[in-house]
């Protein structure tokens, strides 16, 4: 299944009058509309290979059919997303879920769809068939040096796959930790993990980054060895200037002030990138912006302010990735919604009157500060996001077109109703 330019053009023609009216209305009221639209056109969010199938929970999985069965079909799915929104121009792979067999063919396929390879993800949180040693009691933290070595070698292997595909970064998420008090010596676990990460760092090419992803709990429920941004920052600082912290929005304890974390990591030059998703209770991996859109906006507010302050390029100096999957939606429609939510929050953050906010802060004018932020947050920027899509050659309304073309129906015809994606 492919979506061609004519199908997009026809869809856009049908919506043209309404879109133009909506866009002109907003444009009239706002300064810098053209520059915001251009920034939206340029902004790309990487899609995780593991979000293209129904994720399920540990209690069950309800497959929707037509899911990708291999890496080639995952790339094809992201190609469909990118054709629909022109904002999903990258894929993030997870090894060993996505082992590429023929690098040249995979590169060529991605290229045909206009996709790049974003961060590579390693996996030392599951035991794979035929694996010599078990990660039951951790990987890089393990008391047995041989297990640590196996984890390090796996990560080096992931880097090698990434080099072949043109990726420039490695994300390491460790499930290491303990389930009960006394199980682990915290200091030794930290030391072992640092030493292992250092060995991986040594193997990192000059122009690569390593992202240390933290998570407060799960699958370990008493302690986690990279449990929060403080611990991740410690590792990243000790490793060196190619190492950064990765923020997954679902990995904090309840009510954590993620926007403040983002601000300080940026200030230290140690923010590497994001895994976007949303949550109500824990690491729920729900559609970005579906539960706490104001938090997402506040995070983008800090991102725009902090990146501009450091003269960073919004499009390439941080890794923008989604990390979500769930049980009940069509995964492709869900990802279209996530990308849309990210672009909306970004556009709103670009609208903030920074001068007025700085002034209000200097005057301790709390009411005014809130007014300034919420003026931007309550602006309906959807016509700007749609305009950016139109100008980039994407669909004005991607989900509508996805349904009109019966993309899922076509995929079910091609791949079958009972498909299991490799991965989670």
Closest to ligand LRH by CB, 85 vs 220, is 220
Distance CA(57)–CA(59), nearest Å, equals 5
Query: Rule CB under 5 A: is residue 283 a binding residue for Mn ion?
Result: yes
Quick one: which segment of 7-15, 187-195, 271-279, 366-374 binds Mn ion (CB under 5 A)? Answer: 271-279
Number of residues engaging ligand LRH in binding (CB under 6 A): 9
Let me know: does 89 contact 137? Beta carbons within 8 Å.
no
Closest to Mn ion by CB, 154 vs 275, is 275
The tokens for 419 are 């498909």
3-state SS assignment for residue 403: helix
Query: Rule CB under 6 A: is residue 248 a binding residue for ligand LRH?
Result: yes
Let me know: does 390 contact 40? Beta carbons within 8 Å.
no
Query: Rule CB under 6 A: is residue 334 a binding residue for ligand LRH?
Result: no
Q: Where in 85-114 is the site for ligand LRH (CB under 6 A)?
A: none
Query: Rule CB under 5 A: is residue 252 a binding residue for Mn ion?
Result: no
Closest to ligand LRH by CB, 19 vs 224, is 224
Let me know: does 10 contact 387? Beta carbons within 8 Å.
no
Of 67, 77, 278, 323, the one binding Mn ion (CB under 5 A) is 323
Relative orientation angle of helices 71-85 and 103-112, to the nearest 10 degrees: 20
Query: Rule CB under 6 A: is residue 173 a binding residue for ligand LRH?
Result: yes
Q: Where in 112-131 is the site for Mn ion (CB under 5 A)?
A: none
**Residues whose CB falls within 8 Å of the CB of residue 171, separated by 6 or more in sequence, listed in order:** 92, 119, 120, 121, 122, 210, 211, 213, 246, 273, 319
DSSP state of 90: E
Of 12, 44, 92, 121, the one binding ligand LRH (CB under 6 A) is 121
CA-only gyration radius of the chain, Å: 22
Q: Exposed, middle or buried by CB within 10 Å (0-12, 13-18, 19+), for 241?
A: exposed
Which one of Mn ion, ligand LRH, none is in contact with 302 (Cβ closer than 5 to 8 A by kind)? none
CB atoms within 10 A of CB 288: 29
The tokens for 38 are 């251009």
Query: Rule CB under 6 A: is residue 340 a binding residue for ligand LRH?
Result: no
Q: Where in 22-51 is the site for ligand LRH (CB under 6 A)?
A: 50
Quick one: which segment of 53-61, 194-202, 274-282, 287-295 binds Mn ion (CB under 5 A)? Answer: 274-282
Which one of ligand LRH, Mn ion, none is in contact with 121 (Cβ closer than 5 to 8 A by kind)? ligand LRH
Query: Rule CB under 6 A: is residue 215 a binding residue for ligand LRH?
Result: yes
Query: Rule CB under 5 A: is residue 248 a binding residue for Mn ion?
Result: yes
Which one of Mn ion, ligand LRH, none is in contact with 50 (Cβ closer than 5 to 8 A by kind)? ligand LRH
Instruction: Tell the smallest beta-carbon distance from residue 141 to ligand LRH (Å).
Output: 16
Instruction: Tell the smallest beta-carbon distance from residue 219 to Mn ion (Å).
Output: 11
Let me know: does 20 contact 26? Beta carbons within 8 Å.
no
Instruction: Tell the smallest beta-carbon distance from residue 246 to ligand LRH (Å).
Output: 8
Quick one: which segment of 157-165, 175-183, 281-289, 377-385 binds Mn ion (CB under 5 A)? Answer: 281-289
Quick one: which segment of 3-11, 37-45, 70-78, 280-288 binds Mn ion (CB under 5 A)? Answer: 280-288
CA angle 342, 392, 25 (to 5 degrees): 70
DSSP state of 3: -
Which one of ligand LRH, Mn ion, none is in contact with 150 (Cβ closer than 5 to 8 A by kind)? none
Instruction: Tell the smallest beta-carbon distance from residue 211 to ligand LRH (Å).
Output: 10
The tokens for 75 are 């790339």
For residues 278 to 297, the per-residue mask of contacts with ligand LRH, x marking binding by CB under 6 A and - elsewhere, is -----x--------------
Which residue minimizes CB distance to ligand LRH? 173
Virtual torsion, Cα 151, 119, 345, 112, nearest 10 deg: -140
Of 77, 176, 213, 334, the one binding ligand LRH (CB under 6 A) is 213
Of 148, 270, 275, 390, the one binding Mn ion (CB under 5 A) is 275
Closest to ligand LRH by CB, 247 vs 401, is 247
3-state SS assignment for residue 278: strand
CA pseudo-torsion sign 378, 320, 36, 25: negative
CB atoms within 10 A of CB 170: 26
Closest to ligand LRH by CB, 46 vs 405, is 46
**222 CA to centre of own chain:** 27
Query: Rule CB under 6 A: is residue 73 a binding residue for ligand LRH?
Result: no
3-state SS assignment for residue 46: strand
φ and ψ at residue 303, rounded to 5 degrees: -65, -50
CB atoms within 10 A of CB 10: 11
Q: Write out the residues near Mn ion by the rule CB under 5 A.
A: 248, 275, 283, 323
């Amino acid at each position: 299944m492919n979506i061609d330019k004519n199908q997009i053009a026809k869809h856009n023609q049908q919506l043209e009058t309404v879109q133009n009216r909506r866009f002109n209305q907003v444009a009239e009221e706002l300064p810098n509309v053209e520059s915001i639209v251009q920034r939206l056109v340029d902004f790309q969010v990487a899609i995780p290979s593991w979000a293209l199938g129904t994720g399920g929970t540990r209690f069950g999985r309800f497959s929707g059919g037509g899911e990708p069965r291999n890496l080639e079909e995952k790339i094809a799915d992201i190609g469909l997303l990118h054709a629909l929104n022109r904002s999903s121009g990258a894929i993030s792979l997870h090894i060993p879920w996505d082992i590429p067999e023929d690098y040249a063919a995979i590169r060529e396929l991605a290229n045909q769809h206009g996709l790049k390879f974003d961060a590579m993800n390693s996996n030392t949180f599951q035991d794979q068939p035929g694996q010599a040693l078990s990660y039951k009691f951790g990987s890089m933290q393990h008391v047995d040096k041989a297990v640590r070595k196996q984890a390090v070698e796996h990560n080096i292997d992931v880097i090698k796959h990434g080099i072949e595909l043109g990726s420039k970064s490695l994300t390491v998420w460790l499930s290491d930790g303990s389930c009960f008090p006394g199980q682990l010596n915290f200091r030794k676990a930290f030391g072992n993990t640092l030493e292992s990460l250092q060995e991986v760092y040594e193997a990192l090419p000059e122009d690569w980054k390593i992202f240390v992803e933290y998570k407060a709990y799960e699958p370990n429920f008493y302690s986690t060895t990279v449990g929060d941004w403080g611990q991740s920052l410690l590792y990243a600082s000790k490793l060196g200037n190619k190492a950064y912290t990765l923020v997954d929005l679902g990995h904090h304890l309840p009510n954590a002030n993620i926007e403040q974390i983002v601000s300080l990591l940026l200030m230290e030059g140690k923010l590497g990138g994001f895994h976007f998703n949303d949550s109500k209770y824990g690491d729920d991996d729900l559609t970005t912006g579906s539960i706490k859109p104001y938090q997402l906006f506040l995070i983008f507010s800090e991102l725009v302010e902090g990146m501009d302050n450091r003269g960073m390029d919004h499009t390439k100096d941080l890794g923008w990735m989604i990390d979500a999957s769930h049980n009940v939606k069509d995964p492709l429609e869900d990802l279209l919604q996530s990308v849309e939510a990210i672009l909306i929050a970004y556009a709103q953050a670009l609208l903030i009157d920074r001068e007025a906010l700085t002034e209000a802060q200097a005057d301790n004018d709390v009411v005014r500060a809130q007014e300034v932020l919420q003026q931007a947050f309550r602006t309906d920027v959807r016509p700007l996001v749609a305009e950016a899509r139109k100008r980039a050659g994407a669909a004005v309304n991607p989900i509508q077109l996805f349904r009109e073309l019966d993309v899922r129906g076509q995929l079910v015809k091609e791949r079958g109703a009972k498909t299991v994606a490799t991965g989670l």
